[in-house]
Chain A
């Protein structure tokens, strides 16, 4: 009896996997990834202009979803060439040595309005586990994933000590990811 059910379940599972084809994430499809820093009380939100990602998402089997987002640290755009050059330096992102920061999910749990993604955040070669609440919605362009999380830039060795006291340690990362086929 149990065996037969397993066999019956298999095609259903395959169908589910086919449905949950990887969604591609890119700025071209309208996705955005930003980091908000705070300096002397002023929050400044700036975008990463280059990133890629793949999200396998099946609303019927949310726990089987996976996500991988890779962001080019050298694409962070303050809107000012001098500050952009500063943030790519060794003491900050060290974009020459660590061109990419990434988030790789390890566990995705269904939650109201979407899911809770736990995964490994790698920035400047350092790894930390983060948990991010993600809101899922759909738009004509595809499935949309919205969320944000706080991180400590110092935990990743990002930032020259001379900026201590001027730029806050806390950085808010916000994303709006539009999953295209």
Chain B
């Protein structure tokens, strides 16, 4: 009984280890992909540029895979409720998280489509060829480039707000919001 009671209270305050691990893996990959995406377009034509594009795509496919795993986990494992905060903050938090979930799936997908439209198949790690989602089409490529870029910038802005909100919880409200992303229930 005591064990069960502890389980319940931990589930009410803690994320699972899987959720925490996926959060940080995705965070690292998203930051890497955003950084490469931001810098590679201004690089001069060179093997380094071509390789950066390839790595960007591999990291993007990794984000997409982890995001799908994370969504599946999220749907089967309830996260702990938000800590007490004003209603508008709860709404903003839920809305922001929903958008983040959507973008970590959609941004890699639009990049994949954009790559295919330019005639480049995505070959994960240079070894695993992924199916082409669209055929080569210059006009389509330009459109998907725009979509990918705008959504990626939106993702970057949301990540920034997400980090600022976490820091505000930690340093201003001095609550457990940030800390519990470094702990998990067993």
Contacts and interface: CB of A to CB of B under 8 A. Distances in A.
Contacts of A44: 119-121
Given A79-B141, A163-B47, A41 B119 contact: no
A40 B50 CA distance: 9
B75 interface: no
A79 B144 CA distance: 14
A40 B119 contact: no
B127 A162 contact: no
Contacts of A42: 54, 120-123, 126
B136 interface: yes
B60 to A, nearest CB: 14
B177 interface: no
B46 A79 contact: no
B138 interface: yes
Given A40-B54, A79-B136, A79-B138, A45 B119 contact: yes
Interface in B34-87: 45-47, 50-51, 54
A41 B123 contact: yes
Q: Which of B51, B118, B119, B123 has the most CB of A within 10 A?
A: B119
Q: Which of A40, A43, A86 has the most CB of B within 10 A?
A: A40
A41 B127 contact: yes
Contacts of A85: 45
Interface string A69-87: 0000000001110110110
Given A79-B136, A79-B141, A83-B45, A43 B121 contact: yes
A41 B45 CA distance: 19
Contact of A79 (B50, B51, B119, B129): B119
B126 A40 contact: yes
A129 interface: no
Nearest to A84: B45
Contacts of A40: 50-51, 54, 123, 126
Contacts of B54: 39-40, 42
Interface residues of B, number: 18
B115 to A, nearest CB: 9
A148 interface: no
A166 B50 contact: yes
Interface in B127-155: 127, 129, 136, 138, 141
Contacts of A162: 46-47
A66 interface: no
Interface in A143-173: 162-163, 165-167
B45 A86 contact: yes
17 contacts: A40-B50, A40-B51, A40-B54, A40-B126, A41-B123, A41-B127, A42-B121, A42-B123, A43-B121, A46-B119, A79-B118, A79-B136, A79-B138, A83-B45, A166-B50, A166-B51, A167-B47
Given A79-B138, A80-B118, 11 more contacts: A39-B54, A42-B120, A44-B119, A44-B121, A78-B119, A79-B136, A85-B45, A86-B45, A163-B47, A166-B47, A166-B51
